Amino acid sequence: MRRTEQGGRGTGTVSALRNVLLGSAAALALLTNAAVLGSANAQAIPSQQGASQAIAFNIPAQDLGGALNTFADRAGLRLLFPSNLVAGRRSAGLAGTLTRNQALTRLLAGSGLTYRFTSANTVTIADPAPTPVGAAPAGAIALDTIDVDGVPSSDPGRTEGTGSYTPSVTATATRFQLTPRETPQSISVITQQQMNDFSLRSINDVVNQTPGLSTEQAGSGITNYYARGFNVQSMQFDGMQTYLNGAYPGTDTSRDMAMYDRVEVLKGTSGLTTGAGNPGATINLIRKKPTRAFQGYTTLRAGSWDDYRGELDLSGALNESGTVRGRFVTAHQDSRSYLSHREHKSSLFYGIIEADLTPDTLLTVGADYQRYVPRGYTAGMIPLFNSLGEFNTVPRSFNPGARWGTWEQNASNVFTMLEHRFDNEWRIKLHLLRQVSGYDMAVASASGGNPNPLDGSGVSLWRYNYTGKTRNDTAELFAAGPLWLFDRKHELVVGGRISRRDWRNNNFDVDPTGPGTSNIVSDFYNWTGNIPQPRLLPDPTYSNREVHNESGVYAATRLNVHDRLKVLLGARIADYEANLFNWGNRDRLKKSGQVIPYYGAVLDLTDALSAYASYTGIFMPQTAQNEQGATLPPLEGINTEFGLKAAFFDGRLNASAAYFQLKQDNYAVPSGGLTPTGTPAYRPADGVMTEGFELEISGQLSPQWQIQTGFTHNVSQLDNVRVVTLIPANQFTFYSTYKLDGALDGLTLGGGARWMDKTWENVRNPVHGTVLHTAPSYWVVDAMASYKFNDNLLGTLNIRNLLDNKYYTFYNWYNGYAWGAPRSVLLTMTYKF
């Protein structure tokens, strides 16, 4: 069985790609019917424990290959060795509490084989005997990979069980499985360990701890993400591209993290593999995969504001040989909020099955469903000024929304992956995805006007009543493998993707003959949200629809020019078409044969330090409209980046320093007017320049000490004038944990902080007209402590906003602001089976 992660094979044109993908369903059915469930040796992903940590082993005498597989499962290691290396060899077994080094030494005793740690969680086993004449040169032998718990090699970057704050490899930038040091772009990863330590159970929680990312509140449930000065619109699931719904992003930002192993955030554009590459960042959510050995956990959490949550995660083999494996995850949360009369309930269900159709063919089928039901929801904000033109100070608990206000959301995903590996180390993979998400919004918010500080008069209700649905179908096919040129082994990947996204939205007006039709707020400062819910008209007042079709082929090669120099060359040829039907206007965007280049180079200066540079194209369709209601042309430009990357302690600690520059045309700049529907209008601007730098460190400073920290600076300018000021130009994050030993063994202490620079923008003041308003910079400090009572039971205490700092963000279009959350406490108990 040969399982490596290099290279590629593909198609030639976009039209050929379409034909291949249209026939993939039939091919999948034929292969499934013809294959026989066989291999008991499934691939899996590395897991890591401290090298000096003693582990209890009980491995019976058996063939050496089986013993090594069992050892890898228990020790959390990936073992690499030639296919025939262990054939005919036996192991006397292993029993006792030993370190990984001690256990490996005993297992291999008498076999004549040696081992070497090539990374924090990867071990190469070799025969020290001389290579026979005529044998393949070093590096040409396909290596088997025995990985912990039977998780398939489709996820070589798995972080579950590693205890680490840094990944082993990532593939978000390209389809190559590269270490962070080998990737010629900035990338941040929030691992499973960090999510568990700080109880990060929503995508918003994760984004808040990710270096270089910032959030902007535009209502109690609408959160916009930003990176390098730009709105983040690209989101991936296991590398499959989708897009945040720019009109109604709440449908994407309420995602539960219980089903995900980690979150990879690629800074800059990702146009090589995604086509429409966002210039800010791409957020890639990697799902948990099944394990061969049975494992599971249940979690109960309770916290401030009646926040209650439960999780259940079960995984293991579904047949005796382990060739069929499954995993099931469910979570439910019932929580109130620091905002008055604000609460929500959410549920998650996730299931995945993997089957080894043959020793070299892996079929994966899975689905997930999430539902989010809030009450006291508002799509508006607190008015920024009172009627005297002063800052409108209200308590942090003030909620401008009506008690019945809701934005019910649901999202489902069904996915299939089929991967086959050939004896020549090539692999081919087909990935199919269908996503369906919907929402039902009915809100009223005391957000219009400016309240009189004496009697609270002067405020009106904002009302929104929408229903909507988005369907996204995506198919991707790619091949990867080694390429030999000039006696050197290189890597090649060739593939393509087609997708169709259909968004529909309906707006409903209030029935003027029914109850609750008044929009007047009698006393803003004594507002409780207790108003009648109106009846809506049965037919929509207007409807919106957007249909986006995209297809493209890509190819990239990673050339091993020198032992210390790797060069990446690639490009994507993309076709894009969008038909937009918004508020009675019809607009069509079409772009064919768009070439998106990708160039990169990594030079190893020392065994630990590398210099890198990359050049990527930017192509991103936009939904912003001008004052006539026409959609702006796609954003185009280039992204250049260069810097230094370092890997210490066999990759357990990664560090990077990057300088980046983005030049863009058709950048959406506010025109100061409104569209025909009353939303802010924009104009396209050419030559917008964004420059900045990023510093980041993540991973293990010592066996007990984990850290992730980063600083980001970026400024976007047009003709030397800043064009993005609602996003902080500077931000800093720091999160760390330390495991104590000795008399305090089992106790872990940690904490962190994030700092956001001041932001400003022109807003409307009732007395002074248009004024420049500035939101001060702020700190948020968090703390955590966990105690491992035994091998099964873990308790974790999290305190967020430990110093109870009072801060706010504002949104100039709403002329409103939102308070950040005050201090809160969470207690989590986790029991592992």
Q: What residue ranges define each of the domains in the chain, with the CATH number in brackets?
A: 54-126 (3.55.50.30), 287-353+361-802 (2.40.170.20)
Model pLDDT, residue 375:
95
> Do the beta carbons of residue 799 and residue 784 sit within 8 Å?
yes
DSSP 691-718: EEEEEEEEEEEETTEEEEEEEEEEEEEE
Contact 210, 263 (CB under 8 A): yes
pLDDT for the residue 53: 60
Amino acid at 693: F
Least confident of 166-175, 794-803, 821-830: 166-175
Distance CA 560, CA 571 (A): 18
Are residues 645 and 180 in contact, defined by beta-carbon separation less than 8 angstroms?
yes
pLDDT of 280:
83
Q: What is the model's pLDDT at position 220?
A: 57
What is the mean predicted confidence (pLDDT) over 392-415?
A: 95
In this predicted model, which residue has the larger pLDDT, 33 or 399?
A: 399
Among left, alpha and beta (phi > 0; psi -120 to 50; other), residue 412 is beta
Phi and psi at 546, nearest 5°, equal: -130, 130
Supply the DSSP symbol for 179. -
Q: What is the pLDDT of residue 5?
A: 34
d(CA 758, CA 776): 5
Where is 364: in which H helix or E strand?
A: strand 361-375
Residue from 391, 385, 347, 397 nearest 369 by CA: 347
Check if the beta carbon of residue 47 is closer than 8 Å to that of residue 162: yes
* C-alpha span between 262 and 170 (Å, rounded): 11
Q: Give per-residue pLDDT as tens, 300-356.
A: 999 999 999 999 999 999 999 889 999 999 999 999 999 999 999 999 999 999 999
321 — phi, psi (to 5°)?
-80, -15
Which band of pLDDT confidence, cut at 50, 70 and 90, is reported for residue 250? very low
What contacts 723, CB < 8 A, 6 or more positions away? 667, 669, 685, 688, 716, 717
Please choose, from the candidates 236, 244, 177, 276, the residue with its C-alpha nearest in 3D space to the C-alpha of residue 554.
276
Check pLDDT > 50 for residue 40. no
Q: How far apart are CA 696 and CA 657, in angstroms?
A: 7
How far, in Å, CA of 106 to CA of 100, rounded? 10
What is the arithmetic mean of pLDDT over 105-129? 77
Give the mean model confidence (pLDDT) for residues 629-656: 90
Residues 6+ apart with CB under 8 A from 762: 770, 771, 772, 773, 812
**Bridge partner list, 433:** 415, 474
- Report the C-alpha dihedral over residues 643, 165, 568, 78, rounded to 10 degrees: 140
Distance between CA 448 and CA 462 in Å, rounded? 6
Assess whether pLDDT exceeds 90 at residue 202.
yes
Q: Read off the pLDDT of residues 338-350 as tens digits, 9 standing for 90 and up.
A: 999 999 999 999 9
CA distance 588 to 635: 15
- Say how far apart CA 322 and CA 303 lie, in whole Å: 39
Give long-range contacts, CB 8 A cutoff, 24+ apart: 583-587.
Answer: 583/542, 583/544, 583/629, 583/676, 583/677, 584/542, 585/629, 585/630, 585/676, 587/630, 587/631
As a whole number, mean pLDDT of residues 114-125 equals: 76
The pLDDT of residue 647 is above 80? yes
Rounded to an integer, what distance in angstroms lies between the CA atom of residue 360 and that of residue 4? 11
Rounded to an integer, what distance in angstroms lies between the CA atom of residue 210 and that of residue 232?
13
Name 642's Cβ contacts closer than 8 Å, sequence gap at least 6. Answer: 611, 612, 613, 614, 658, 659
> Which pLDDT value is given to residue 677?
66
Indicate the pLDDT class of residue 69, thresholds 50, 70 and 90.
Answer: confident
DSSP string, 756-793: E--EEEEEEETTTEEEEEEEPPEEEEEEEEEEE-SSSE
